Amino acid sequence: MADTPTPAFLSSPGRSAIPKSIWALGLVSLCMDMSSELIHSLLPVYMVTVLGASLLSVGFIEGFAEATALLTRMFSGVLSDYWRKRKLLTVIGYGMAALTKPLFPLASGLTTVFLARFLDRVGKGIRGAPRDALIGELAPPNLRGTCY
């Protein structure tokens, strides 16, 4: 049986391994994305069936939330480059998003859903660009593509 080559991201002689901080960022990102997808995939159904929202209001809330994330990401990238506080902005973004998750099942009206969705996407926007820049700074030059 032939030996299979070891992938570059697993430590090999002469090459550096992916830093643990990048693995941690990846794990946090995975968990946050899974929780977001779980909630956001069921949220429109919840808004229509339980809260009695119209399809137009669901579309407005979803569109506004995603536009908010994109605009916030642009500004957080500029702030990240200016302040050079990538870790702080990343933690703030993940923290905001995590704090909004319990608001969705507790929502008794569309206003609460709108605010929770808005703050969740602000958190996503704040963390996006600084997290990507942080990965670029932490990654060894020979593994930069692998780290992303």
Contact 121, 72 (CB under 8 A): yes
Tell me the mean pLDDT in the region 115-119: 95
Is 116 inside a domain boundary? yes
| 63 domain-assigned | yes
What's the pLDDT at 4?
65
- Domain containing 61 equals 20-147
Q: Is 13 within the bounds of a domain?
A: no
Look up tokens 């030996």; give the residue.
3
pLDDT tens-digit series, residues 36-87: 999 999 999 999 999 999 999 999 999 999 999 999 998 998 999 899 889 9
Taking the whole predicted model, whether its pTM rises above 0.75 is answered as yes
How many structural domains is the chain composed of? 1
Q: Is residue 114 part of a domain?
A: yes
Within 84-109, residue ranges assigned H as helices are 86-100, 103-106
Inter-residue contact 129 to 137 (CB < 8 Å) = no
With a pLDDT cut of 70, the percent of the chain lying above it is 89
Residue 8 placed within a domain: no
